[in-house]
Amino acid sequence: MARIIFVLALAFASPAFAAPVSSASRKLVIVDPELAVTGDKTQGFIDAFVKRLETVAGWKPGSIVGKGFLSMEAAEGFLKTERPAFALLPAHEFVVLRQKYKMQVLGYGGVWDPKKAAYRGLARSKSSVGALPHQQPGLKLATDIKDMQWLNVIFDGLLKPEAHFQFVPVKNESEAVAAVRESRADLALVWGEHIDRYKEFLRSDGGGLRVAFNSARMPPMALVALVKNAKAADAKALTKALPQVCKAKPNIDICANLGFLYLKPGPEELHPHVAYKYDNYK
């Protein structure tokens, strides 16, 4: 049996935890900047995950190898040269890469509270920023999101970001929140699952900030087959194994270390919707 590689693409710096690349013919790419927070533990988490896949899929021990990349750009190069068969992609990466590669959604990785899978806009408590930013042209927006079409999706196609906002340059989400607190920006975009990081600033008794904007819910991480690269038998075997991957302890922890708590076959209802928005919103 040919070996199967799982490639973890992280949107951050050094690949110190990266495993060697083998000459395997079946490969899967995971793109998720959130996994960078695990630092040098990431490779061990990948190893545990692929070992679990071996067990539930009936693959031979050692038939799956993991490797870490640091950005979607690095993963893009691997996609072109190594032609992986599968990918596990958060919503933004999903809509971007599906424009370049024909994909079939085989399943998805979910969390316990899907309502947090949305963007929040934080504003100063006493500011005039309302719940409908499209009605307030000229707002100073602090965000590290550079993809204008993705911002168009976040604001549901109701505005043209590049014309509507004045952008305040920041390197990350924390800097965006700081820019609002320091009155350098009117609105900071924060991923909903991160909101607890800023709860001290959201206290009603003088925290100084409030949630002014809520985006529509985004779909969970998609497990896709790259149609030109994947063999039908491999896609079928992987799909069949998904419900068992994260089932029971310690397997839940293995999955949680990679950003999801369960894997389910089939597309989640919002995957086609967010793809349509990204392709068609003007």
Q: What is the pLDDT of residues 117-134, one digit of tens each?
A: 999 999 999 999 999 999
* Structure confidence at residue 67 (pLDDT): 67
Quote the percentage of the chain above a pLDDT of 90.
Answer: 56
DSSP single-letter state for residue 81: H
Q: Which region among 112-116, 163-167, 171-175, 269-273 has the lowest average model confidence (pLDDT)?
A: 112-116
User: Which H helix or E strand runs over 234?
Assistant: helix 232-245
More confident residue, 147 or 6: 147
- Per-residue pLDDT, averaged over 15-30, amounts to 55
Rounded to a whole number, what is the largest CA-CA distance in the chain?
63
Average predicted confidence (pLDDT) for the chain: 86
- Per-residue pLDDT, averaged over 106-117, amounts to 90
Evaluate if residue 11 carries a pLDDT over 60.
Answer: no
* Structure confidence at residue 51 (pLDDT): 84
Evaluate if residue 254 carries a pLDDT over 50.
Answer: yes
- Other CB atoms within a 10 A radius of the CB of residue 219 amount to 23
- Cβ(222)–Cβ(97) below 8 Å: no
More confident residue, 78 or 157: 157
More confident residue, 72 or 65: 72
Residues 6+ away with beta carbon under 8 Å from 62: 3, 54
* Structure confidence at residue 230 (pLDDT): 86
- Cβ(182)–Cβ(127) below 8 Å: no
- Per-residue pLDDT, averaged over 225-250, amounts to 90
- Using one digit for the tens of pLDDT, what is the confidence trace for 173-211? 999 999 999 999 999 999 999 999 999 999 988 899 999
Reference 223, options 32, 42, 78, 39; nearest CA is 32
* Structure confidence at residue 38 (pLDDT): 83
> At residue 175, what are phi and psi to the nearest 5 degrees?
-65, -35
DSSP single-letter state for residue 67: E
- Cβ(96)–Cβ(145) below 8 Å: no
Question: 3-class SS at 181?
Answer: helix
- Using one digit for the tens of pLDDT, what is the confidence trace for 90-109? 999 999 999 899 999 999 99
DSSP single-letter state for residue 197: G
Q: Which region among 60-64, 144-148, 238-242, 245-249 has the lowest average model confidence (pLDDT)?
A: 60-64
pLDDT level of residue 33 (50, 70, 90 thresholds): confident
First to last CA, the chain: 47
- Cβ(51)–Cβ(64) below 8 Å: yes
- Per-residue pLDDT, averaged over 2-15, amounts to 41
* Structure confidence at residue 64 (pLDDT): 67
Amino acid at the residue 213: F
Conformational region of residue 252, where left means phi above 0, alpha means psi within -120 to 50, and beta covers everything else: alpha
Two tokens, residue 93: 């990466």
Two tokens, residue 129: 């920023």
* Structure confidence at residue 192 (pLDDT): 94
* Structure confidence at residue 139 (pLDDT): 98
More confident residue, 1 or 173: 173
Report the alpha-carbon distance of residue 147 to residue 281 in Å, rounded. 13
- Other CB atoms within a 10 A radius of the CB of residue 39 amount to 12
Two tokens, residue 78: 């691997």
Two tokens, residue 66: 């993991």
Q: Could you give the angle at the alpha carbon of 122 between the alpha carbons of 220 and 31, nearest 5°?
A: 30
* Structure confidence at residue 39 (pLDDT): 84
Evaluate if residue 13 carries a pLDDT over 90.
Answer: no
Residues 6+ away with beta carbon under 8 Å from 64: 3, 4, 5, 6, 50, 51, 53, 54
